[in-house]
């Protein structure tokens, strides 16, 4: 079996775009059996040049003794780029991908390889959880929905596709590196749910920003390289927003449906509308909208306060002609359990907070089971 030193040795004689040895850019090595997962930290402003370096590194590592397969991904440090905080960097990344797409003569990203992804073939229903913008509780909802589906006897996977800011390591308190089994990454497990996150593959202390092409590639790997096995449902925590990266996932994955998470505020709702239309564009069924932080549950008196204009999501869902699945309260236990790595449905399944998600999960399950057929991925042109 190859060692980390073998990997670094394989990179000898290769140089990054800046002329520095490529071995010095290695930010993570994950080895198991004959498969090597390696990440390289590169300058996001030199995406094209780094892509060439990535390909060269992959070829060199694959040729190293004891290695049969190599997967090299690109990461970029964000901490050292204070002028480019995450949302802006993300917008730029999407802008870049967009510019590329236009260079290809289409309004959407270059068409991805069509056809089934073998790693996803034994999954009955794939559900995307999306939001028009970050911070609305999409990841919290994804995690508790996945746990809620598992609580009803389903075999469930949870894929953290939010490569800009993976949340599942924190939400489930998971720090282990996934093992490689049979040439594929074995998901980690918590409360009986199989979980995979880009956050497991890279050092958690290295904050990253992923550029458009890098993100697409990283996501393709996350979709194609994970040993999910047989599942009733795979919940995908989508990256926030509705840019090209999100569209790419929606196109590549045979989605059984999408759940849109929104807060009651108008702005979030405008964004949520964009998310709805993105899935409509790729003809993925919208299972419904969830209004998160819909009302405040006082931990002292149990009273309910409607801090924001409550009910906006229900009204909007009706206007858009998509189902309204329900609402989750702004609740301290939901936040505390999420931040403690013990999401409420897993840790306190009998609590009223868990009941909210169990109820939502039951609705999602029924909608999936009663849907006639699963949507095939569609390529959108123009
Ligand atoms: P997103 O994935 O949309 O960026 P997160 O799920 O990471 O959002 O949630 C953002 C923050 O809000 C987290 O600290 C989370 O614990 C908290 N949060 C999410 N939903 C709720 C809720 N219903 N009640 C209280 N806190 C919540």
The tokens 């403690």 sit on which residue?
340
Nearest CA to ligand 1 atom 23: 330
pLDDT tens for each residue of the chain, 382 residues long: 788 889 999 998 888 887 888 888 888 888 878 888 888 887 777 777 888 888 899 999 999 999 988 888 887 653 332 333 333 333 333 333 333 333 333 333 333 343 578 889 899 999 999 999 888 999 999 999 999 999 999 999 999 998 878 899 999 999 888 998 888 899 999 999 999 998 887 765 555 555 556 676 778 778 888 999 999 999 999 998 888 778 888 888 999 999 999 988 766 778 888 899 899 888 899 999 999 988 887 888 878 887 776 677 888 888 888 899 999 999 999 999 999 999 999 999 999 999 999 999 999 999 999 986 444 455 544 4
Nearest CA to ligand 1 atom 14: 335
Measure 31 CA to ligand 1 centroid, in angstroms: 33
Q: How far apart are CA 136 and CA 140, in angstroms?
A: 9
Q: Please say whether the beta carbons of 144 and 292 come within 8 A.
A: no
Q: How far apart are CA 28 and CA 150, in angstroms?
A: 32
Nearest CA to ligand 1 atom 16: 335
Residue 32's pLDDT is 77
Measure 292 CA to ligand 1 centroid, in angstroms: 9
CB atoms within 10 A of CB 370: 7
- Find out whether the beta carbon of 136 lies less than 6 Å from any atom of ligand 1: yes
Q: Please say whether the beta carbons of 358 and 343 come within 8 A.
A: no
Residue 313's pLDDT is 81
Tokens matching residue 290: 């969830």
Q: Please say whether the beta carbons of 178 and 185 come within 8 A.
A: yes
Cβ contacts of 215 within 8 Å, gap of 6 or more: 93, 97, 163, 164, 239, 245
Q: Please say whether the beta carbons of 150 and 227 come within 8 A.
A: no
- Find out whether the beta carbon of 338 lies less than 6 Å from any atom of ligand 1: yes
- Burial class of residue 22 (count of CB atoms within 10 Å of its CB; 0-12, 13-18, 19+): buried
How many Cα atoms occupy the beta-carbon half-sphere of 281 within 13 Å?
Answer: 21
Measure 135 CA to ligand 1 centroid, in angstroms: 6
Measure 140 CA to ligand 1 centroid, in angstroms: 5
Nearest CA to ligand 1 atom 5: 137
Residue 325's pLDDT is 95
- Find out whether the beta carbon of 260 lies less than 6 Å from any atom of ligand 1: no
Measure 108 CA to ligand 1 centroid, in angstroms: 30
Q: How far apart are CA 258 and CA 236, in angstroms?
A: 9
- Burial class of residue 55 (count of CB atoms within 10 Å of its CB; 0-12, 13-18, 19+): exposed
Residue 152's pLDDT is 93
Q: Please say whether the beta carbons of 344 and 264 come within 8 A.
A: no
Residue 37's pLDDT is 86
Tell me how many degrees the CA angle 71-248-42 measures, rounded to the nearest 5: 45
Supply the Cα-derived Rg of the chain in whole angstroms: 21
Domains contained in the chain, CATH given: 4-78 (3.30.300.130), 118-369 (3.40.50.300)
């Amino acid at each position: 079996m190859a060692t980390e030193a073998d990997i670094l040795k394989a990179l000898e004689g290769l140089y990054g775009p800046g002329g520095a040895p490529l071995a010095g850019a290695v930010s993570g090595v994950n080895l198991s059996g004959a498969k090597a997962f390696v990440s390289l930290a590169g300058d996001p402003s030199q995406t094209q040049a780094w892509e060439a370096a990535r390909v060269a590194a992959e070829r060199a590592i694959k040729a190293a003794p004891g290695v049969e397969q190599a997967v090299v991904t690109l990461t970029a440090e964000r901490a050292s780029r204070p002028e480019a905080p995450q949302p802006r960097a993300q917008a730029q990344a999407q802008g870049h991908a967009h510019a590329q797409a236009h260079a290809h003569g289409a309004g959407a990203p270059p068409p991805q390889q069509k056809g089934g992804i073998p790693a996803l073939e034994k999954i009955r229903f794939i559900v995307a959880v999306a939001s028009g913008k970050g911070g609305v509780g999409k990841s919290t909802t994804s995690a508790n929905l996945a746990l809620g589906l598992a609580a009803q006897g389903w075999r469930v996977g949870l894929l953290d596709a939010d490569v800009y800011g993976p949340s599942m390591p924190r939400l489930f308190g998971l720090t282990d590196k996934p093992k490689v089994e049979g040439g594929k990454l074995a998901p980690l497990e918590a409360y009986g749910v199989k979980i995979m996150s880009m956050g497991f593959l890279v050092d958690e202390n290295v904050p990253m920003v992923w550029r458009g092409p890098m993100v697409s590639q990283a996501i393709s790997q996350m979709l194609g390289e994970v040993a999910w096995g047989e599942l009733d449902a795979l919940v995908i925590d989508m990256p926030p927003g509705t840019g090209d990266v999100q569209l790419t996932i929606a196109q590549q994955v045979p989605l059984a449906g999408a759940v849109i998470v929104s807060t009651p505020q108008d702005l979030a709702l405008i964004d949520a509308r964009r998310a709805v239309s993105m899935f409509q564009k790729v003809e993925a069924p919208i299972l419904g909208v969830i209004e998160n932080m819909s009302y405040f549950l006082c931990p002292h008196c149990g009273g309910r306060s409607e801090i924001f204009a409550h009910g906006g999501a229900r009204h909007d869902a009706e206007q858009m002609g998509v189902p309204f699945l329900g609402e989750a309260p702004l609740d301290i236990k939901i936040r505390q359990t999420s931040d403690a790595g013990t999401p409420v449905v897993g840790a306190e399944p009998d609590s009223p907070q868990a009941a909210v998600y169990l109820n939502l999960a039951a609705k999602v399950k029924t909608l999936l089971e009663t849907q006639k057929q699963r949507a095939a991925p569609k390529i959108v042109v123009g």
